[in-house]
Structure 1
Amino acid sequence: MRNGPSSDDTMSGSVAGALDGILVADFSRVLAGPYLTMLLGDLGATVIKVESPEGDQTRGWGPPWRDGETTYFRGVNRNKRSIVLDLKKAEDQALARELALRADVLVENLLPGRMKSFGLDYAALQPANPGLVYCSLSGFGSQPRGARLPGFDLVAQAAGGLMSITGSAEGTPMKVGVAVVDVLCGLHGGMGVLAALAARASHGRGQLVEVNLLASTLSGLANQAAAFLMAGEVPGRLGNAHPSVVPYEVFEVADGDVVIAAGTERQFRQLCSVLDLGELLGDERFATNVARVQNRVLLRKILCDRLAGFTRAEATEALSAAGVPVGPVNDIADAFKLARDLDLEMLWRIDGIDHVRSPFFLSENAPTPRSGAPSLDADGADLREWLSAEHFPGTGGPGASGPRPAHP
């Protein structure tokens, strides 16, 4: 059994993880579920990734590649162990059930009904493992009409209204540049799992946690959803502008673009001071945010004309010094450089490969990298042996309730 990577540049760490001792059975694939379980692994949980003989689909979603594996798969599957189980075979179903009965948490995002067909749904497992926190992720929920719909991020962005507010007013609806709904769903699922574990600590029982892409999209729409629900307004596309705050968008400068987010009256006054536009403060068309929203086109032209004389560095430095929220429009390479310049440690080097570090900065139980993404069935032999042992102290054998054997 792997105890972790052998590379010297992997920080296996001596600090106890916040989720040390938690065993996660990961039946998920692609992004939402794997992202969720990776974060649990970063926090110290032992994550066992169950894959079909073909492996997680993202193993083939390249280019780009790194050392024979797609960067997509590597990016969301560190701190996990891999076992191949063909759930169509009775013997592998039995091993999968044994894993589920030993687990504290199970995460799955198979098509609704598939886990039930394998005898691995919550109702089938809960009597034998009443402490199990079972997290089920889907596209559009588990009810009959939603269960049949395809659960892909792009579909959820479209059907959930996100694309209708993304892109220029004159253009076509656009998707966000990353599978943001999958990421949101993974985060929401992770919050549900942690809440259920906290509740279990109080009353001793696990529970079913259900999250779906549509619900995560609607929740993530935040103020845009509130505009519809509370005021009856259906938001549209405004490009990079904000529907309720002006100026709050992208502006072109001499050598690129910056964003300015003057969300308070003080910040607008400071913006006008830096740009030598003090006359705007006495103009009733721009005296309040409400007035600026109504006259956004004119105000934008005035600001663009003045900002054209600044470089990105000049605009960022001058406005930041005045307390105006501003930032350059970076590409991803620039973004990582910015993190370095700000002394944010956003990289983990694992087995010689850089990863985005866990975004959690905990003062007592810091997340740590222990291993990179596993090759397919990398731990299969050891895990099969562990799951197939006939008797364990305090148990009646595989599948029995009672104290669980130690983690592999």
Structure 2
Amino acid sequence: MRSSDREPLSGVKVLDLCRVVSGPFATMHLGDLGADVVKIEEPRHGDESRRYGPPFIAGESAYFLSVNRNKRSCAIDLKSSAGRDTVLALAGVADVVIENFRPGTLEKWGLGFEALRNSNPRIILCSISGFGQTGPDADRPGYDLILQGESGVMDITGDPDGAPMKVGTSIADLVTGLYASQAVLAALMRRQRTGEGGRVGVSMLDAMASLLTFNAGMFFASGESPTRRGNVHPTISPYEPFRVSDGWINVGVANDKFWSIFCEVIGRAALLGDQRFATAPRRASNRDDLVRILAPVFAQRTRADWLATLGQAGIPCGAINTVKEVCEAPQLVERGMVQTADHPVSGAVRFIARPIRFDDRPPAPSTPPPTLGQHTSEILSDWLGWGGDAHADHHAGPSGSTSKRQGLMSDNPAA
């Protein structure tokens, strides 16, 4: 386990009952901030994302590795009585329990909030769901693609004349995970002030709907639902991608000051006298005409040439990078944002580190994502003081008595 004494969540114990993306992304960020995150996994197969692929690195899913650093894995069958009792014992010394099962699942297993609170009156339970704990859709499963559609985000994404388009990353899962980590931090602050734990919840639908911001504002103001605009902005132009001779760039001429500089820099000063483009609202209204003029101009020069020219003039611009280019970007590498951890199976595993900095320090080194059940005995010893041979048929209970390890798994299930 890494040393996290200097991290803001040092000493905070998080019991992670999550799987796939939204919950693991939340708990990874809590681990990045120094929390001791114990990931509870089903003993036979573990988190189902362990099987997502390709690609795999020495049999380990790259998908799983990407959202599970800075955690320890404890293999427990939540559906067994021994597993339930062990989780309740762990919750008794935890600060936070976070889960992303369907509403009612934990209650069915005897692990609902009341059971957790009986073990620990100060416990904080954070529940992630697809559609919320209440309402007519509460029982529906939450999957990223489904929530991207249900939230309206797909309807405003894509070509105006094309099909609705999902975002290129699992945005519903990821933003929900970010909200969940924020909810946990807020609940910890509340407990510090009041001494009380409690429940917090984040719905994927609620989280995605919150991202509509000005799109929802436009509907509330006009009664008309915004439609797909492709890559263009509803009120700013030019503020979109342009094809150059060897690729694509983004250009953001966000106000009239930038417009005057922009026209001079690209060698089209005559545009400043064209009344169709004299103000930002006029440029937005006459976007098609403007793009027809600008497109052949940009096509004449390379990406590097345009970025240098526009950048030196202070015009907002940027490359449209590939994932490879981002992962190898000097700006990220120099700032320590591309980290490597030594995984016991996959070797050197690289990932994008946490984006939060304290006192201008780069992110601390991370521990690698765990193998299934890698830390079971270690966790039971650290958190509960339970001793004994992890590979034996029994384990010592909290009172020192011995009970069957049915529902628990050794440190290395594959062994």
Aligned to 2:300: 309
Give the 3-state SS of the residue equivalent to 2:276 in structure 1: coil
**Structure 1 position 348, deviation (Å):** 1.1
Q: Retained in 1: the 8 A contact 2:70–2:368?
A: yes
Q: Which residue of 2 aligns with 1:86?
A: 77
Shift in Å, 1:197:
0.9
1:258 aligns with 2:249: yes
Distance in 1 separating the partners of 2:361 and 2:108: 39
Q: What is the CA–CA distance in structure 1 between the aligned matches of 2:330 and 2:190, rounded to whole Å?
A: 36
1:148 aligned counterpart, secondary structure: coil
Give the drift of 1:179: 0.1
- Alignment match of 1:148 (pick from 122, 131, 139): 139
1:376 aligns with 2:410: no
TM-score, normalisation: structure 1? 0.89
Is 1:177 aligned to residue 177 of structure 2? no
Q: Does 1:65 align with 2:56?
A: yes
Question: In the TM superposition, what is the alpha-carbon distance from 1:387 to its structure 2 partner?
Answer: 6.1
Report the Cα offset of residue 249 of structure 1.
0.7
Tell me the alpha carbon deviations over residues 268-317 of structure 1, each in whole angstroms, 9 at most, x when there is no partner. Answer: 22211111122222222111111111101000111112111121011111
Aligned residue among 262, 270, 285 for 1:294: 285
Q: Distance in 2 between matches of 1:341 and 1:142?
A: 39
Q: How big is each residue's C-alpha offset from its partner over 1:313-348, in whole Å with a ceiling of 9 and x where there is no partner?
A: 111111111111101111011123334478332111
- Partner secondary structure for residue 377 of structure 1: coil
**Post-superposition CA distance 1:194-222 (Å, at most 9, x none):** 11111111111122111011011111122
The answer to which of 68-77 and 260-269 deviates more is 260-269
After superposition, the C-alpha distances for 1:108-161 in whole angstroms (9 at most, x for unaligned) are 001111011122222332244232221100000111522221200100001111
> Aligned AA for 1:287?
A
Q: Which moved more, 1:164-173 or 1:127-136?
A: 127-136
Partners of 1:311 and 1:187 in 2: how far apart? Answer: 37
Match of 1:31 among 21, 29, 46: 21
Q: How does 1:129-168 map to 2 (within 5 A)?
A: 129-168=120-159
CA contact (8 A) 2:40 2:75 kept: yes
In the TM superposition, residue 191 of structure 1 has moved relative to its aligned partner by: 0.9
Secondary structure at 1:237 match in 2: coil
Cα distance in 1, alignment partners of residues 332 and 195 from structure 2: 46
2 CA distance for matches of 1:377 and 1:388?
A: 17
For the 8 Å contact 2:24–2:68, the answer to whether it is kept is yes
The aligned residue for residue 212 of structure 1 is 203
Count of residue pairs the alignment pairs up: 384
CA RMSD between the two structures: 2.0
Question: How far does residue 381 in structure 1 lie from its aligned partner after superposition?
Answer: 2.4
Asked whether the equivalents of residues 189 and 210 of structure 1 are also in contact (C-alpha less than 8 Å), the reply is yes
Task: Say whether 1:243 aligns with 2:239.
Answer: no
| Alpha-carbon distance in 2 for matches of 1:147, 1:112 | 7
Q: 1:366–1:25: structure 2 CA closer, same or farther, 3 Å change rule?
A: farther
Please give the per-residue CA displacement for 1:85-112, whole angstroms capped at 9, x wherever unaligned. Answer: 1111101100011111211111100111
Does the 8 Å CA contact 2:261/2:313 hold for their aligned counterparts? yes
CA distance in 2, matches of 1:168, 1:312: 24
SS in 2 for 1:147: coil
Letter in 1 for 2:77: D
Name the SS for the 2:136 alignment partner.
Answer: helix
TM-score (norm 2): 0.88
Task: Tell me, yes or no, if the aligned pair for 2:90 and 2:384 is still in contact at 8 Å.
Answer: no
Residue matched to 1:234: 225
**Cα gap change, 1:232/1:115 in structure 2, threshold over 3 Å: closer, same or farther?**
same
Mapped to 1, the partners of 2:333 and 2:276 lie a distance apart of 38
Relative to structure 1, the CA distance from residue 329 to residue 359 in structure 2 (aligned partners, 3 Å threshold; closer, same or farther) is same
Q: Give the C-alpha shift of residue 388 in structure 1.
A: 6.1
Letter in 2 for 1:30: V
Shift of 1:372: 0.4
Distance 1:347 1:164 in 2: 34
Query: Counterpart of 2:367 in structure 1: which amino acid?
Result: S
Q: Does 1:362 align with 2:358?
A: yes
Q: What SS class does the counterpart of residue 126 from structure 1 fall into?
A: helix
Identity of aligned residues (%): 38
CA distance in 2, matches of 1:319, 1:173: 33
State the alpha-carbon separation in 2 of the partners of residues 21 and 384 from structure 1.
17
Quickly say closer, same or farther: Cα 1:388–1:196, change in 2 above 3 A.
closer
Q: 1:280 to 1:209 in 2, by over 3 A?
A: same
Aligned pairs for 1:112-127 (under 5 A) are 112-127=103-118
What does residue 403 of structure 1 align with? Answer: none
Is this contact kept in 2: 1:47–1:80, CA < 8 A? Answer: yes
Contact 1:44-1:368 at 8 Å conserved across structures: no
In structure 1, the residue matched to 2:34 is 44
CA drift of 1:70 comes to 0.6
Greater relative CO, 1 or 2 (CA 8 Å, sep 6+): 1
Write out the 4+ residue segments of structure 1 that deviate beyond 6 Å after TM superposition.
Answer: none
**Aligned-pair distance for 1:385?**
4.6
The corresponding residue for 2:392 is: none
**Take 1:281 and 1:341, find their aligned partners in 2: how far apart are those partners?**
38
